[in-house]
Each structure stands twice: as structure tokens, then as C-alpha cells.
Structure 1
Amino acid sequence: MQNNNNAPTTNIDLMSADLAADPWPQLHALRELGPLVWHEQHRRWLVTTDAAVRQVALDYTHFTVEGTVVEDLFGSDAFIAMDDRARHNALREVWADAFRPLALRDLREELGSLLGELMAPLLARLRDGETVDLSAALCRPLPTMVIARMMGVPRESLADVVRWSDAMAGGSTSFLDEAARQAAVDAREAAKASLAELLLQLMRERREHPAGDLISLMMHADIARELSEEQIVPNVRQLLFAGNETTAKWLDHIFLTYAQRPAVRREISADRALVVPANEEIMRWQGVVGTLPRRVRGAAVTIGGVTMAEGDDVTCLLAAANRDPARYARPDELDIHRERQPNLGFGAGLHNCLGAALARLEAELAVNALLDAVPDYSAEADYSYSSLPLRGPTPVTITAINS
């Protein structure tokens, strides 16, 4: 892999704490260089603009997810890491109906019950004047409890699921030096193995005794008859991981943003029809998944006057694309009244997020529940951000404001 185009180059540290804290000036500078920028240290192309990112994400002929860190994280048998459209669709469709908005309407009451369970002790502490870590008390456990319940994972396993998911997330990037990368990969692989052991036990139980949950659906689907247990596990594991890790970080972004912008918080508190578009704007404006890896295959391909060779590694900078002025007016501003313009926060194309509608429902209900109980709150300034590939602030510690 090499840059033979005289294309712009960079050695930006995409894993630095400084960039995680405020990535926007550096991502703006990268985007100004052009739609494709060559990263000299990591020997890969960075894709910076909305149009170019969408071109890569939607071109399954010239760009593959196979052989990237996505495959390393989830395994080659996971549908999120395969380009075989027929096989991908057969696996994804096993669960697709359960995540469609119409199906999720029936989940609202159950979600409300889970929210009430989590918020009762949280609210008691806030009313006593305590400062509460909303990340630990609500943002992290809620999506984990929801996806675990949908899958039939026992509650006593949830602490392990969170710990293993965090370790997997930490090993999901190519932008580390060799020593740090190896340590992260070792932790990731150990977590994947532990999670697989738990899921394999549940899969065998559901094969004998189906329970109407998502694991049961997979174990009794037509496609499962063609697969070994070792091929099914990566698909079940990816669902459990994706259903808790990314939504938790989005909730952290949402609640921190509303703490830092009291005028916005009061506006949506007064008009709850604004909650959904406001949450969506935060997904664009801050985002969680900041990078999307691909690899050039089949032949060289040219984007924006830059030619990438077969086998070249490519990283789409979703975070940069979501603030592209060619798509969004005043992209660095948070505008909850912005004209609806779909962003890349949940991906695009074949591998877009299966659980996007569920994540949106969780965010909508969680925001409404907190605003009902604590319409005014402030956040402490002791948070920090995880790295750009999977970025979120923690801890989000809040104090109720007595008005």
C-alpha cells in the first residue's frame, strides 16, 4: 500500500485523548485537505466527506468489510463482517422483524418498567441532593438490560456482558501503536471467548427449549440448520455487543448535551415532540461510531481524483462526514430544528445498524423519563471521552437543580 497520487497526507493521531475531547478542528482540517487523505503511519486512506463516505459505504463491488478490523472484532461468520449479500440477508432477516418500529411498539411498556426500576434509586439520590453518575446508573445498564431481555440472557450475567463488551470495544481499532494494539487485541479476544462460552450454553438450551427470545429465533431458523454452533455464535455475540455498547454512549452524549445546554433542555422539556429530532441531531453533532473500515477489492478505484489500489485499507471518518458543510448548513452548530437530513450515525447501506429503531426508542423514553422527574439538572466537569472510533463521555455525573 502506498500513496502514488501525490494526494494529501497526514499522521494525525486518531486515538489521542486530545482529539477525543475535541475532534472537530482536526477533522475539519482533514476534510479541507480533500475527500481522501493518506495516513502515512498507518498506511491507509482516510475518507473525510459525506459524499465520499457514502460512495465507499454503498459500493459493495469495490469496497469490502472482509479482512478489516470489523472481521477481527466480530468474526468472519458474523453477518456484519460479510459481503455475501444472500448469506448476510438470510442471517439478518432472522431478527429483522423484531427490530422494526411496529414490533417495538409492544416493547414500550416493558421498557417503561425497566426505566422505572433503574430510575427509582437514581431519583431518590438526586432528591437527597446527591450527585449521581448517570452513565453507571442509567445509560450503561438500560440498553444492556433491554437487549439481554430480548435475547434471553439472564440478568445475573449482565455485569460480565458489560465488562466483556467494553474489552471488545477497546480492541476494535487499527490506530494504535504495536504494543498497545497487541494488549487491546489480547483483551478483546479473551472477552470474545468468554462471551461465546456464555452464549453457546444459552444457544444449546434454546435449541432444546425455545423461549420466544432472539436466541431461540436464531436456533430454530432455516439458516441455522446450515450452520455449526461455531458459525452461529459470532452472530449472536455481535447482536449482544452492538445492542448495548453504542446505545450507552449515545445516551451519555444526549444527557451531557442537555446538561450543558439548559435552553435546549427546557425547550424540549416544554415540547416533547422535539425529543426525537433533538436526539437525532446529537447523533449527528457528536456521534458514537466515528470510523468505518473498508478495504479496496477487485480493482483500483478512483474517488475525488485519487486512485486507491486493490488491497488498500480505507477508513471512513463518519465523524467528519457528519459535520460536512456540503451536506449540513452550519454543521458545527447543534440545531434541534434542523431540517431532517439523515446522518451516518447508524451507518449506511448493507451494514447499517439493525437495532437503530430500538436505540431511538430507548433514547426517546429515557430522555422523557428523566425530564419528567428532573426537568433541571447540571453536570459535573470531570468526564472524559473514549477514543474517536467508539466515542462517548464518561462519567456523566449530574445534580438536580431545585427551581
Structure 2
Amino acid sequence: MTAVPTTRLDIMAAETAADPWPLLRELQAQGPVVWHEVYKRWLVTTDREVRAVVSDFQRFTLEGTSSAALFGDDAFISIDDRKRHDALRLVWAEAFRLQGLEAIRADVETIAAGLLDPAAQRLRDGEPVEVVGALCRPLPTLVIARMMGVPQDMLPDVIRWSDEMAGGGPAYLADAAARAAVARREAAKADLATYLGELLKARRAAPADDLVSTLAASEAASDLPDDQLVQNLRQLLFAGNETTAKWLAHLFVTYAEDGGVRREIAADRSLIRAANDEVMRWQGVVGTLVRRVRGGPVELAGIELADGDEVTCVLAAANRDPQRFADPDRFDIHRPPQPNLGFGVGLHFCLGINLAKLEAEIAVGGLLDRVPGFRVAGPYTYSSLPLRGPQPVSLVVA
């Protein structure tokens, strides 16, 4: 067996979130699998080993992890059994395929225009615009809410519940902060579940053309109690707005700060999707994924992991793995196509990837149509590495 490298690097600290890359490079240099003496878990740092872990749901389970605690044991994102997982995921698969999304493209463009027009006018008038609140946060929330049949007057609550759920990961917090974060998370989960439970009952009584009605009428729903169905609705609503909002914020910061790339994609819109994908690799949103060893011991990169060991896949490090990406710290929108880990891999690959990419393409192109030149107007901070995004982000005309 390979000698076990260990570390005490505090890669999860709030103060490192703005620029985690030096610490992640140092961590990755120690090896693909590193034991963290403080976190008491394994950190997996390279593309190859991360893919090996998240693709092997027999030996690396989500059961008993913080991810399952966030979404619920019966949400399909937490289910390792392929038959159970697919029975739920496939209920909505058609709606999120490229062909299915073409039916709502016009709606997404209309929603985006309703946000972009007033923001662009303020920019042209010389005002700074805080784009996280004006565009990044509401756009994906409005879109997934429209798809699920959630009325617009509920969106402030949906955003608040989602944000409180996102901030409730206790694994790397001090005890008092962890208890407070978990309390907020659980309260938000309960409130969102109550609302979605009522919506599910309403759609059973009066079906509509939305994803809640699709679930209510599905074969999977006939065999499951409402609390399990609600866990899946809650997962869909949360994932459909929280991560995309942070990706959009990364996109606007990146293009605001790199005028050369911004001018290039403004001149050739066919580059937007590749540029957006490169931002996802280079900055990322979901910086970590958690798993637990099941049926161990398990060997990974020559290191033995014991049964029950906690494993954190550091996607942020793996997406800058020099073994997969040449000059990985360089932002390069002309890289040869090479899938990154920003949307996951394997059984739990992001259901909403096509929707997120559609929203990002429309939002970036729409702002460039209205305001071709923009820059960041002031300082901003980042949320922590597990779910990372810039906030708040004020833009002005460049």
C-alpha cells in the first residue's frame, strides 16, 4: 500500500473561499487521496479518482452523508440503488432533455428579458446594478417555478428557503455555528416540504401542465407515500435554482473582469456555450461531493479506506487537475472539448444540466445584446467551497 499523506490545510474556511486555488494546488500535490487530520475524512483531489468514487455507488454510498441529510434519504439524488433512483428520476427526464426544453425556450427568453430590460436601462443610465439580486437569483427560480407550477408570489419564500438549506452544511463548521446552520436548514426544509405537500395535493385534485402534476400522475407516485414524493419535489426546486444562480454570478464576474473574452463572445455568440463551460471548470459551483465507504476496506489510488470512512471529493481541485487539463489554472475558452465535473458524473449526473446551460446562454447573450461592455463596480465575497459563488456583484457600464 502507498504511504498515507495527511494534511491540516483549512480549505473550507470562509476566508479562503475567494482564492482557494493555492491551497488546492498544495493539497493536490500531496496526492490523489489525502487524510485530513482535522476533518477526519479522506479528500480526493484528482479527476480520475473523483470519477472512480462518484461512479461506484456500490462501494461509495450517499447513505449517512451530509448530502442525504440535506435532500432526504428518499430523494433520488440520495438513492444509490439504480432501480429506485431511475424510477423517480425518469419521471422528469423527458422535460429536461434538449427536445423537451425547446418547448419552453421562448418562456425562458421572456423571463430573462423581463429581468434584463430594467437592469440594462439602469446600467445605461449610469447606475450600478447588483446582478445577483436583479438577475442571477431570480432567473433560475422563476424558470423552475414556472415548470413546477409554483406561483410567482411564492418566489421570495422559495429563494429564502433554498438559501437557508444551502447554508446548512455542518461538516466543516465549529460546533455552535454548525448547530445554528442545521437548525436553519431543517426549518427551511420543513417549511418548503409543507408548501410542496399542499401543492402536490392541489395538483392531484386539479392536474395542470407542470412537473408536480407529472409526478402526481406517474407510476412511481402510485407506490410511494407523499413524504417521499415531497422530498423529490423539494430536491428539484432547490437544485433548479440555487446552483444555477451561483454559476450565473461566476459568469458575469468572469466576463466583467476579462474584457478580451467578453468582446470575443460578444462578437461571436457561438462561443458562449464553450466559454460558459470553461467558467464552470475554472471556477465551479459545487466544490465538493461527499460519500461514505460501504463494504470496505476499499483501495483507492493505492490507499486503503476503511468501511464507514467519510470521503470528500474535491471537485474544485479535480477540475484543475493537470493530468486532465493542460495549464489548468489558465482560463481558456478555446480548450479542446473535455468534460469537467461541474455537473457531476455517473448515476447522479445533474438532471438539469441542459436547462442550466440554456438559462446561462440566454442570460449572457441577453446582457451582451443590451450592454456589450460592463465591469465590476466594487468588492464582492464568496460563499464557501462546497457551494461557491460570488456575492454581491455590482456591475457598471465599462
Q: Which residue of 1 aligns with 2:84?
A: 87
* 1:158 maps to 2:155: yes
Q: Which residue of 1 aligns with 2:15?
A: 18
Distance 1:87 1:165 in 2: 25
Distance 1:173 1:10 in 2: 20
Q: Which residue of 1 aligns with 2:295?
A: 298
Distance 1:319 1:217 in 2: 35
CA contact (8 A) 1:173 1:389 kept: no
Aligned AA for 2:309? D
Deviations 1:194-230 (A, max 9, x none): 1011101100000111101000000110010111111
Identify which range, 117-126 or 341-350, moves more after superposition. 117-126
* 1:379 maps to 2:376: yes
Q: Which residue of 2 aligns with 1:326?
A: 323
CA contact (8 A) 1:125 1:132 kept: yes
Counterpart pick for 2:203 among 206, 210, 230: 206
| Cα distance change on mapping 1:49 and 1:173 into 2, 3 Å | farther
Q: Which residue of 1 aligns with 2:131?
A: 134
Counterpart pick for 1:233 among 222, 230, 234: 230
Instruction: Name the Cα RMSD after superposition.
Output: 1.0
Distance 1:30 1:15 in 2: 12
Structure 2 unaligned residues grouped into runs of 5+:
none
Runs of 4+ in 1 over 6 A off after TM superposition: none
Identify which range, 288-297 or 8-17, moves more after superposition. 8-17
Q: What is the percentage of aligned positions where both structures have the same residue?
A: 59
CA contact (8 A) 1:14 1:175 kept: no
* 1:219 maps to 2:188: no
Counterpart pick for 1:368 among 361, 365, 374: 365
Aligned AA for 1:96? A
Distance 1:204 1:99 in 2: 24
* 1:74 maps to 2:55: no
Per-residue deviation at 1:387?
Answer: 0.1
* 1:143 maps to 2:143: no
Structure 1 unaligned residues grouped into runs of 5+:
none
Aligned length: 398
Q: Helix, strand or coil: the match of 1:370?
A: helix
Q: Which residue of 1 aligns with 2:49?
A: 52
Aligned AA for 1:37? V
Q: Which residue of 1 aligns with 2:243?
A: 246
* 1:311 maps to 2:293: no
Matches within 5 A, 1:21-40: 21-40=18-37
Aligned AA for 1:308? L
Distance 1:308 1:5 in 2: 12
Deviations 1:372-392 (A, max 9, x none): 000001112311000000000
Counterpart pick for 1:281 among 278, 281, 292: 278
Deviations 1:274-325 (A, max 9, x none): 0000000000000000000000001211111110001000000000000000
Per-residue deviation at 1:395?
Answer: 1.1
Q: Which residue of 2 aligns with 1:192?
A: 189
